[in-house]
A and B are shown apart, each in its own frame.
Chain A
Amino acid sequence: MRRETLLNLVIALALLAVPLAAQALDEPFAITLATKVAILALAGVGLNIALGLGGMVSLGHAAFFGIGGYMMAVLATPVQAYEPLMTWPIELAGTKSMPLIWLGAVVAGAVGALAIGALSLRTSGVYFIMITLAFGQMLYYFAISWPAYGGEDGIAIYVRNGFPGLNTLDPLHFFALAYAVLLAALWLAHRLGGSPFGLALAGARQAPARVAALGIRPYRLKLAAFVLSGAVTALAGALYADLNRFVSPSMLSWHTSGEIMVLVILGGVGRLFGPVAGAALFILLEHFLGGISEYWQLFLGLILLGIVLFARGGLIGTLAGREVPHD
């Protein structure tokens, strides 16, 4: 087995072991932390499809994270208010069913990413970073001025949404859901990486002039990757909103984009389990350093600086060595 595969397996099992141990020790808060790791990792897996596979440095992924979160609120609040979702042109009820909410989030995230990507991908380099940031901020200000969903204050969803056969209010059940979704997304990212699509995308990232000379247009490839990326991150947003039972514009703010980006860099850009390792490290730092000092982000910044300067493959790169081409 390749060293990285082994490492990935260890990380996956460790993330599973923590909440099981916490359950045995009756430490529900640790389960919640592990769930948060899984969900942020999922958001990072989404970003990594754009950033790692496609080389698109998006500083606007909070847009998709927030779209997923607000999609959850849009679908679930009518139910708690005993109102229909809409009455025109057809009468449609809201839903508290997670599978339907996830579907809504994925579709909304994909549509949002298609719109933002189609425009942003006409630029490149620093302009791409700025334009994705600008789109994210546009949605942020829109949410702030959207009174129906609490504006600046956001909106609470009092009862966690349901999943057939599970009690989602039980922290371990909810963790299991988030973990399963994360594994599914990792499988998707893995398959993408080794597919003809992933090959063309890697080529477009590393040698764009050559890929065009081979008859492949990078724009459409990148747009497709951006759409998939946005959809996965939106799914994470829906889960995150369910974890907190609360949605607010801060999900859409550029701080959120930055955090998702930071955790991918911490773990390793373009490495399959980079976002998982990064999210775990991020949450651990936030929890323990945050307990010691309210300036914990300063330490986070220093660690980030160290990784960018000395360990470009992030945690995964440091532990598993250089990336080897897919076989």
Chain B
Amino acid sequence: MTDPVLEVRNLHLSFGALKATDDVSLTLCPGEIHALIGPNGAGKSTLIGLIAGNLAPDAGQVLLNGRDVTAQDVAARAQAGLARSFQVSAVAPGLSVLQNVALAVQGARGGSFRLFRRALSDRALTGAAMTQIDRVGLTARRTVPAGDLAHGERRRLELAMALAQAPRAFVLDEPMAGMGPDGAREMTTLLDELRHEAPILLVEHDMDAVFRLADRISVLVSGRIIASGTVAQIRANPEVQTAYLGEERLE
């Protein structure tokens, strides 16, 4: 087996008495989609925060490409190849779609301290940005301020920004939340292609999408991973069914 791109080892984090992350270990290997599922408040977003560097663990390590990045800040981890999306869209509302994605390209390539060049007349910058905008289907909306986008469009912009970082690993927090069936289906197709660019750690509540996409699924309940395995294994796991999925959702 190839070495994992992203590895989390025995992570712990408590908010006061609440163990939000309780001895979590997982890996993300090249070419795979590893889904992380669990009920509301299970600690999924907290785990993403720990991986991305927004939160510091009480104990444990985060490794990117085999290097320990636990002590590094968010920006350093991004530069090391980690791209994340946010559960609640975090795009710059006053900037256009193109500018938001150009910013992502700029973050990956550097050059944010160039004071006098015109950002959007830089062909390399806009070219790379437009490629991703085309991919997520926002071409016609490129000059629209991100704040004016519909919800589903904003989710796609989030994804285009992550893509534009040309990352080694994606960590996506509910990319399909509130998208509606058509949007979710398009997004599923898109994510399916993405795994060849970089592996995806996918937090998602849409079980249809998870079962279609995931190579592996880990189930997080109350901060602990209670089960991990293939789609078939997770579907068949009785502990998972009682703890989370519920009989009716599995047919």
Contacts and interface: CB of A to CB of B under 8 A. Distances in A.
Interface of A: 191-192, 194-200, 202-203, 205-207, 209-217, 220-221, 224, 323-327
B75 interface: yes
Interface of B: 52, 54, 73-76, 78-79, 83-84, 86, 90-96, 99-100, 102-104, 106-108, 111-120, 122, 125, 143, 145, 161, 165
Given A203-B95, A325-B95, A211 B113 contact: no
B158 to A, nearest CB: 9
Contacts of B54: 209
Contacts of A191: 115-116, 118
B94 A323 contact: yes
A37 to B, nearest CB: 27
B78 A214 contact: yes
A194 B120 contact: yes
Nearest to A322: B145
A215 B115 contact: no
Chain A binding surface, main DSSP class: helix
Contacts of A210: 86, 90-92, 161
The 9 closest A-B CB pairs, nearest first, are A214-B107, A215-B78, A206-B92, A200-B112, A325-B96, A215-B107, A210-B90, A212-B74, A215-B79
Given A191-B115, A214-B107, A325-B99, A196 B92 contact: no
A26 B223 CA distance: 80
Contact of B99 (A192, A197, A199, A211): A199
Given A214-B161, A214-B165, A326-B120, A195 B95 contact: no
B119 A216 contact: no
Q: Which of B73, B86, B103, B143 has the most CB of A within 10 A?
A: B103
A325 B86 CA distance: 23
A194 B126 CA distance: 13
Contacts of A207: 90-93
Contacts of A195: 114-119
B104 A214 contact: yes
